[in-house]
Amino acid sequence: MKQWNWRLISTHAILIVGVCFMSLPVWVAFATSTHSAEHILRNGLQFWPGSDFVETYRQVLFVDGGVMKSVLGTTMLKNSLILGIGFAVGKVIISMLAAYAIVYFRFKLAVPLFWVIFMTLLLPLEVRIIPSYEVVAGLGLLDTHVGLIVPLIASATGTFFFRQFFRSVPDELLEAARLDGATAWGFFKDILVPLSKTMIAAILIIMFVVGWNQYLWPLIMTTKEENYTLVIGIKQIYQILAEGGELPQYQKAFALTILATLPPVLVVLVFQNWFVKGLVESEK
């Protein structure tokens, strides 16, 4: 029995090292964010929280010029929430509608249109950044929520996911609904949507995280500070730190990373089961 015990101990040891590797940087970021700038500069990173928690986060969230030149942390938080929620909701609606048409209707252009949607997998934003920027600028959508969210929501992932799910719905449901005289819209609204509730929740969670974490697109899309999301604020504070100054505000930089991390992490932790299910299912 002794040998078996050693194996168990080594298993736990490996897992604990893994947990430390994954969690320690974030913990250090949090602990350091609660110390004063002088203290950090003198003593380096911190492993235990200090006394400046309230002061730092108040500065970052509520004080004008506390972290960026003119934008408040709360404004960036709001922009991030709009992007995360808008992206998730928009993506679910658009991809459900498209998937419904492709699975439940017989129409001439079904196959070509499916390929058009499929093509988006080949065109990640990174390979079309500059012309995309020009299109959005041409439409006068720079620095708007529409210009920020809409170009992001049309990619194929959501549509594939719902297509897969709708195909697993038994055919008898539609037959029965049609006997009862259901219209195309009625069947969608009254039967398919309620049936997909769990799937919708899972996709909403994943897409919220994906939307919240968008970087490249908001970076080139937003020129005014008031439209910055928290993730874009990260870039800005990087610049401020790189430029230097007499006393680098490391604690504020760390506070910003914590604020940008917290909401998506909470969503993932609270809805862990849906999230894992959605992630694993959607990639199949």
Partner 1 sequence: MKRVQFEHSAIPYLFVAPQIIIILVFFLWPAAQAIYQSFLLEDAFGLSSQFVWFRNYEDTIFSDSWLQAAGFTIVFSAIVTFLSLALALLLAVKANEVIRGASTYKTTLMWAYAIAPPVAGLMGNLMFNPLIGDMYKFLNAIGWDFDHKLDSFDAGFVVVLISVWKQVSVNFIFFLSGLQGIPKSVNEASMMDCRSPTRRFWTITFPLLAPTTFFLMVINITYAFFETFGIIDTTTRGAPGGATNTLVFKVFQDGFRGADLGGSSAQSVVLMIMVLALTVVQFRFIERKVHY
Binding mask 63-82 for partner 1 (x = CB under 8 A): --------------------
For partner 1, the binding residues in 218-277 under the rule CB under 8 A are 220, 231, 234-235, 237-238, 248, 250, 253-254, 256-257, 260-261, 264-265, 267-269, 272, 276
For partner 1, the binding residues in 161-200 under the rule CB under 8 A are 167, 171, 174-175, 178, 184-185
Q: Which is nearer to partner 1, 15 or 63 (CB)?
A: 15
- The count of C-alpha atoms lying within 13 angstroms of the C-alpha of 236, restricted to the half-sphere facing its C-beta, is 25
Cα–Cα distance measured from residue 152 to residue 207, given in angstroms and rounded to the nearest whole number: 11
Exposed, middle or buried, 73 (CB in 10 Å: 0-12/13-18/19+)? Answer: buried
For partner 1, the binding residues in 114-153 under the rule CB under 8 A are 116-117, 119-124, 126-132, 134-136, 150-151, 153
Least Cα distance to 76 among 210, 255, 275 occurs for 255
Pick one of 61, 71, 77, 100: the residue that binds partner 1 (CB under 8 A). 100
For partner 1, the binding residues in 13-42 under the rule CB under 8 A are 14-15, 18-19, 21-23, 25-26, 28-29, 32, 40-41
* Alpha-carbon distances of 122 from 97, 108, 125, rounded to whole Å: 22, 24, 10
Cα–Cα distance measured from residue 221 to residue 186, given in angstroms and rounded to the nearest whole number: 39
Q: Least distance (Å) from partner 1 to the CB of residue 245?
A: 12
Q: Least distance (Å) from partner 1 to the CB of residue 262?
A: 9
Residue with tokens 């017989």: 106
Count residues contacting partner 1 (CB under 8 A)?
Answer: 96
- The count of C-alpha atoms lying within 13 angstroms of the C-alpha of 188, restricted to the half-sphere facing its C-beta, is 15
279 near partner 1, judged by CB under 8 A: yes
Q: Least distance (Å) from partner 1 to the CB of residue 172?
A: 8
Looking at residue 58, its amino acid is R
Least Cα distance to 151 among 202, 203, 83 occurs for 83
- Do 277 and 200 touch, CB atoms closer than 8 A? no
154 near partner 1, judged by CB under 8 A: yes
Q: What's the Rg (C-alpha) of the chain?
A: 24
Q: Which is nearer to partner 1, 63 or 121 (CB)?
A: 121
Q: Which is nearer to partner 1, 20 or 63 (CB)?
A: 20
Q: Which is nearer to partner 1, 32 or 34 (CB)?
A: 32
Cα–Cα distance measured from residue 229 to residue 141, given in angstroms and rounded to the nearest whole number: 17
Q: Least distance (Å) from partner 1 to the CB of residue 238?
A: 5
